[in-house]
Amino acid sequence: MRYEFRWGMLLEQPYFTWIVDAIATTLHLALLSWILALAIGIAVGVMRNTPSRALRFAGALYVEIFRNVPLLLQLFLWLYVFPELLPKHWQLYWNRLDDAPYWTAVIGLSLFTAARIAEQIRSAILAIPPGQFKAALSTGLTPFQMYRYVIVPYAVRIIIPAITSEFLTIFKNTALALTIGVAEISSVARKIEAWSFKGIEAYTVASATYVCTTIAVIVLMGWVEKRAYIPGLIKREKSDA
């Protein structure tokens, strides 16, 4: 193996600017998509537990479709197929949009992840003792208030670990946006490799970005989980002696 390391190259231009911009893009793409995914996911998850059959069916249909088509293909569908189905003048607007790939990635990532979050929310709601629903309604809350004040706050605490891992999943999945031309960190690493043939340095930067963010998120969410912890609400798993 003959390979000369040149770590200093990473601080040279244009690479350094590329890297900084790419890390920023990766982070806000992930964050924005995750927030949208949470909102949609919670809505769909609640839909799947309502008494209305039509809503339940719509929720199930959404989950099955978005979960069972690979994300990479979904990105392609949003980029190439979706604009074709728009009315003509919307199409023109979309095509004139500067960062169409970025917004395509936001749509694709958040709708894909929302299906996964909806499933977590659904099973979290199922894990809530049925007495809670009856108790909430019997104190005169409307069904919407019941979800708003009782069920969702309860369910959210149950699924904090799952939501954390969904953020990490969406964060890693941003890498797939490179296939539709978003300059996130994996694609920039590849570009640097192609320009300089310094693949190890370039990919190390990308891997370090993912690993460090993962660690930071786990630490942060561990703290959030501790803050939101209610004694006796969720049994902490303990190994038996």
- From candidates 9, 199, 225, 234, binder to other proteins by CB under 8 A: 199
Helix (H, G, I), strand (E, B) or coil at 129: coil
Q: At which residue do the structure tokens 């998850």 appear?
A: 45
Q: How far is the CB of 1 from other proteins (least distance, A)?
A: 6
**Which among 106, 128, 84, 133 is positioned nearest to 40, based on CA atoms?**
106
**Which among 100, 101, 104 is positioned nearest to 112, based on CA atoms?**
104
- From candidates 9, 27, 76, 156, binder to other proteins by CB under 8 A: 76
Residue closer to other proteins, measured from CB, 30 or 150: 30
Q: How far is the CB of 16 from other proteins (least distance, A)?
A: 20
235 binds other proteins (CB under 8 A): no
Site residue total, other proteins (CB under 8 A)? 41
Pair 112, 173: CB distance under 8 Å: yes
**Binding mask 84-113 vs other proteins (x if CB under 8 A, - otherwise)?**
xx----------------------------
- From candidates 128, 172, 196, 225, binder to other proteins by CB under 8 A: 172
Q: For 237, list phi and psi in degrees, rounded to 5.
A: -65, 130
CA 186 to CA 172: how far, in whole Å? Answer: 10
Q: How far is the CB of 81 from other proteins (least distance, A)?
A: 5
- From candidates 158, 193, 225, 234, binder to other proteins by CB under 8 A: 193
Pair 132, 151: CB distance under 8 Å: yes
**Which among 226, 232, 214, 105 is positioned nearest to 167, based on CA atoms?**
214
Q: For 98, list phi and psi in degrees, rounded to 5.
A: -65, -55
178 binds other proteins (CB under 8 A): yes
> Structure tokens of 201?
């340095």
77 binds other proteins (CB under 8 A): yes
Contact residues for other proteins (CB under 8 A)? 1, 3, 64-65, 67-74, 76-77, 80-81, 84-85, 168, 172-176, 178-179, 186, 189-190, 193, 199-200, 203, 206-207, 210-211, 214-215, 239-240
